[in-house]
Structure 1
Amino acid sequence: MTGLKTANYTLAINNGLKAIHDCHVQIGCVIVDGGTAQLAALTGKDNSILALSKVQWMKEIIVVPCICHRVHNAYKAAMNHPAISPLKDQLLEVAEICRQHVEVFGSRCPSNVETRW
């Protein structure tokens, strides 16, 4: 794949699905990560691979959103929400204080990792 635009995904997914089908593998569903360009390539109304395909087997493929990506996207949105963000910042400050005083608490507070929920 040469880029991350809808046209790039459209070409790559179309070629990939055809190659898999040519190996006599029946494709029932495609799991997607929720990226805008990826979703548009598969489910967009105007230029969707699945909708515009002239072959029936491709029109019958079910697009399934990945639950891990959905949870992560919801977590990111919540953490950036104006009502929650200040609380998150305070918790991060408390965690940093705890990390600086391991001897008081008897254990180390894990560092914050944005991608860990």
Structure 2
Amino acid sequence: MGERQAERPVIYIDPQKARDLDRDLTLQEIYYRSEGYYQTAEKMLDVCKKAGYKFTLSMIKKWLNCQALYQIYKPWPKFIQYASFNSIQTLNKAHQSDTIPMPHDKVGNRIYKYRGVIKD
């Protein structure tokens, strides 16, 4: 009998990975059930608290960003930062460049399809 116990394989389970798996399964069960639709992480956090789970908002946001369904129907950002060139006072401090298509620009035997534009 002692030889038989020595032959049994030992499986080591990482406790952090086990907790992560339990959390993922719990959030998956809450998010994909048919009773409710949780569009934001805050709504999902409220439901998790009512169910007795102690997840943080950052944990739920991280999990939601990995879900394909959430990425498709993710709410629009309230503010998007764009580059501003209003504070430039001197010439040649910043430049913008782009190419624009030109469908019918022919000079001699050459046909030009794009034009390079640089804005100072």
Same fold by TM-score, threshold 0.5 exceeded?
A: no
> Higher relative contact order at CA 8 Å, sep ≥6: structure 1 or structure 2?
1
Higher gyration radius (CA): 2
Instruction: Give TM-score scaled by structure 2 length.
Output: 0.27
In terms of fraction of residues, the more strand-rich structure is 2
In terms of fraction of residues, the more helix-rich structure is 1
